[in-house]
Amino acid sequence: MTKNDSKIATNKITKIAIFLVLIIISGMIAIPVPAIGVPFVLQNMLIMMAGGFLGKKYGTLTVGIFLLASLLGLPFLSRGRGGVGLSFSPGSGFLLGFLLCPLTISLLLEKLGTRNLWCIIIAYIIGGAVLIDLMGSISLAYYSHTSWLTGIAMASIYLPIDLVKAVLASVIHQRLKKETYLEEMHDSL
């Protein structure tokens, strides 16, 4: 491994660690939804951004590490929850959506591009808000013993706020990517 390869590896590990910390800290921000049992959270916004900033491989790895640690019992999910029991709860579909989100957003950004804010917004909405809520609707329906359409209706209460988070994450993505790109250009000169 050359010195440059070591620098690149350190850079990737640092970015993964930063996103892990941001995702964990964002779990402290949750608004309970007693009727459904799954709170409004900020974590999904940071998970969307992990896909946009770290790419499909490292974004998915970051979220996978976060979920594995949570399922092993570390209190990283909203309201300090953790443990394997979460795999068998109304929120389990949302957790699967969390894992698929970075991969989907990255693939959409590869196809749509990142030069136009609207393309970024579409990728974040489809690969983030819609995907996570759609996956959540499956577990909500299953654990409430209702139809999938009822699960979709239950999950739809999250969609307006998740759309706002997806748009906000898209704007942050575009602004920070510009800055990162300029810094990389400056460093290479």
pLDDT tens per residue across span 53-104: 999 999 999 999 999 999 999 999 988 889 999 999 999 999 999 999 999 9
Q: Which residues contact 76 (CB under 8 A, 6 or more apart)?
A: 23, 24, 27, 66, 69, 70, 82
Q: What is the pTM of this model?
A: 0.89
The answer on pLDDT for 185 being more than 60 is no
Q: Where are the alpha helices (DSSP H) in the chain?
A: 3-26, 43-71, 92-112, 117-124, 131-143, 148-155, 159-188
Query: What is the residue-averaged pLDDT of the chain?
Result: 90
Q: Report whether pLDDT(30) > 80.
A: yes
